[in-house]
Amino acid sequence: MPRAHIVLDKQAVVAPVRRRTFGSFVEHLGRCVYTGIYEPDHPSANDDGFRMDVVDLVRELGSTTIRYPGGNFVSGFRWEDSVGPRGKRPVRRDLAWHSLESNQVGLDEFAAWLKLTGSELMLAVNVATRGILPALDLLEYANHPSGTALSDLRIANGAPDPHNVRMWCLGNEMDGPWQTGFMSAEDYGKIAARTAAAMKMADKDLELVVCGSSGSGMPTFGDWERTVLEHSYDHVDYVSCHAYYQELDGDLGSFLASALDMEYFIDTVIATADHVGYKKRSSKKIDISFDEWNVWYLKEHQESEKSKEADNEWRHAPRQLEDVYTVADAVVVGNLLMTLLKRGDRVTSASLAQLVNVIAPIMTEPGGPAWRQTTFHPFSITSRLAAGEVIRPVIDAPTYTTARYGEASVVDAVATVDGDRAAVFLVNRDLTQSAQVTVDVRSLGLSRVLEALTLADSDVYAKNTLAEPLRVVPRANTGATLSDGVLTVELPPVSWSAIALGQSAGD
């Protein structure tokens, strides 16, 4: 049995727990919007057509900031199509996902939905095929109180209060040749800088996100960030990172160590951004918005999507990218979220992509139920328990060799501390053996295990489905004990765990 020892020192503070770390993403793609969050004929739908069973799950998930409306979708989007009387909204072709968009859900409807879920809107503007003036028009429509043409139009459309959007994405994945209107780093950096400067003339307190690389494997990775930021550094606040992971060729060991690639991605982008800042003699630090991350079995979807395009098939809200996630997928998602917490000093916003049906923690059946995927659980539990400050752990654990990422620790961990409560998050990447873990928490002054949950299964490929929605759920880890300042817990193979600590009565 592998053994690991972890030391937590409450002085080893990384950063505050950033609530925006628990963001998500709703794109007009597949069934994310239509029959996902919006289905007027569903038995649970409210008067606005939103599925309240999904709203309840989103609230349970604990998502905070929702990026919208894309994604690749935004690069062909005319925002004006999505406001005003529904009967007059045009149906458009979406080139990004080769489907039809009815525009029956637009900015005002989505803002109303966000109020139901208690989430913040993060809005993307189309700089790929439009430009500065449409972005300024959208900003005026969304945020200006009243007394201008576009703010008064919003009021006439039934939204009297401004949406007050603070975070704005300047396009999406502009380095990708799949992107409608993709550009070189030089061209994108210039248009992003001009758009950002103009938007801040309207509101200097906006938080603007410039597009970084679409993945660490892109041939321009690093150089893209440098070039874009050399143009836009003075006008933006964030640079984005996007990363998706999947098990390839049966290499489960590498897949379970995906967090190592995320760490490399973050470290490289921070170094590049700081390099540009030093060159500019700037005291400002650019933070990271990791606004797309997840497990995504992209290769499995590519052939079916190509066949639809070859048949010139244009459908409204087709089933697309509906991955059904396993226990192993959930362990990786939990570990990636742990990594985002560890880097909360610079990763101050993140978005799990996406929220419903499309590579999502929540699934729905049209006219039927909604249920939690395996990946729902580590996200919802971490969002609920993580509070206060992130503590950097010192981990002494055996390692194993991966084909993709080199040496990886068998056990990974992170912790948060909030006054007289703490939470420890752990993964065991060993494929066959449980890990015996001790955690020195004497520095925290806590004496009781309040809650201990583990997500694991004898079948690491077990899934939750429409037929078996509760096949995989977190279960109490009854062996977790805390004595004399040392937490002891056994972690099953391929598992994710969360342990909440507090004070005993009378302490």
Question: pLDDT digit string (tens) for 301-318?
Answer: 666 566 555 567 899 999
Q: How many domains is the chain partitioned into structurally?
A: 2
- Residue tagged active-site, from 80, 120, 292, 389: 292
pLDDT one-digit tens code per residue, 467-489: 999 999 999 999 999 999 999 99
Adjacency order of strands within the sheet including 486-491? 394-396, 3-7, 435-440, 486-491, 481-483
- In eight-state DSSP terms, residue 31 is T
Query: In what helix (H) or strand (E) does residue 56 lie, and over which residues does it extend?
Result: helix 52-61
Contact between 129 and 179 (Cβ < 8 Å): no
> Does residue 261 have a pLDDT over 70?
yes
How would DSSP label each residue in 173-235?
A: -TT-TTSTT---HHHHHHHHHHHHHHHHHH-TT-EEEE---S-TTSTTTTHHHHHHHHHHTTT
Whether residue 212 lies inside any domain: the answer is yes
Among candidate residues 385, 417, 444, the one where a domain is terminated: 385
Q: Are residues 32 and 66 in the same domain?
A: yes
- Residue 291 and residue 226 share a domain: yes
- Domain membership flag for residue 507: no
| Same domain, residue pair 341 and 393 | no
- pLDDT at 302 (0 to 100): 64
Domain CATH for 420:
2.60.40.1180
Which residues on neighbouring strands pair with residue 497, listed in sequence order? 426, 454
The confidence score (pLDDT) of residue 295 equals 98
pLDDT digits (tens, 9 = 90+) for 108-135: 999 999 999 999 999 999 999 999 999 9
Q: Is the pLDDT of residue 250 over 60?
A: yes
Q: How far is CA 297 from CA 33, 160, 359, in A?
A: 21, 42, 9
Could you report the per-residue pLDDT of 348-392, keeping only the tens digit for each? 999 999 999 999 999 999 999 999 999 999 999 999 999 999 999
* Alpha-carbon gap, residue 97 to 80, rounded angstroms: 20
Of 393, 361, 380, nearest to 464 (Cα)?
361
Is 363 within a domain? yes
Is the pLDDT at 212 greater than 60? The verdict is yes
Assess if residue 24 is contained within a domain. Answer: yes
* The pLDDT of residue 504: 76
DSSP-derived pairing of the beta strands 99-101 and 207-210: unpaired
Per annotation, catalytic residue among 101, 120, 140, 173: 173
Residue 323 counted as domain residue: yes
Q: Is 120 a catalytic residue?
A: no
pTM: 0.96
Counts for the chain of helices (H) and strands (E), in that order:
11, 27
If you average pLDDT over every residue of the chain, what do you get?
Answer: 96
Answer yes or no: do 87 and 144 share one domain.
yes
| CATH number of domain containing 284 | 3.20.20.80
Tell me: do 431 and 399 sit in the same domain.
Answer: yes
Residues 354, 400: one domain? no
CA distance 77 to 67: 15
DSSP run (H or E) holding 273 = helix 258-279
User: pLDDT value at position 191?
Assistant: 98
Q: How far apart are CA 54 and CA 501, in angstroms?
A: 31
- Write the CA distances from 99 to 29, 312, 321, 354, 462, integer angstroms: 8, 10, 13, 18, 32
Query: How confident is the model over 409-435, as pLDDT tens digits?
Result: 999 999 999 999 999 999 999 999 999
Q: Indicate the residue among 348, 368, 385 that finishes a domain.
A: 385
Q: Is residue 144 part of a domain?
A: yes
Q: Residue 307 is encoded by which pair of tokens?
A: 């066949």
Q: Which domain holds residue 252?
A: 18-385
Identify the pLDDT of residue 312.
79
Question: Is the domain of 271 the same as that of 418?
Answer: no
Average pLDDT over residues 170-183: 97
Phi, psi for residue 422 in degrees, rounded to 5: -145, 160
The predicted model gives 23-35 an average pLDDT of 98
Asked whether residue 109 falls in the same domain as residue 174, the answer is yes
- pLDDT tens column, 429-464: 999 999 999 999 999 999 999 999 999 999 999 999
Q: How many whole angstroms separate alpha carbon 311 and alpha carbon 305?
A: 10
Q: Is 292 a catalytic residue?
A: yes
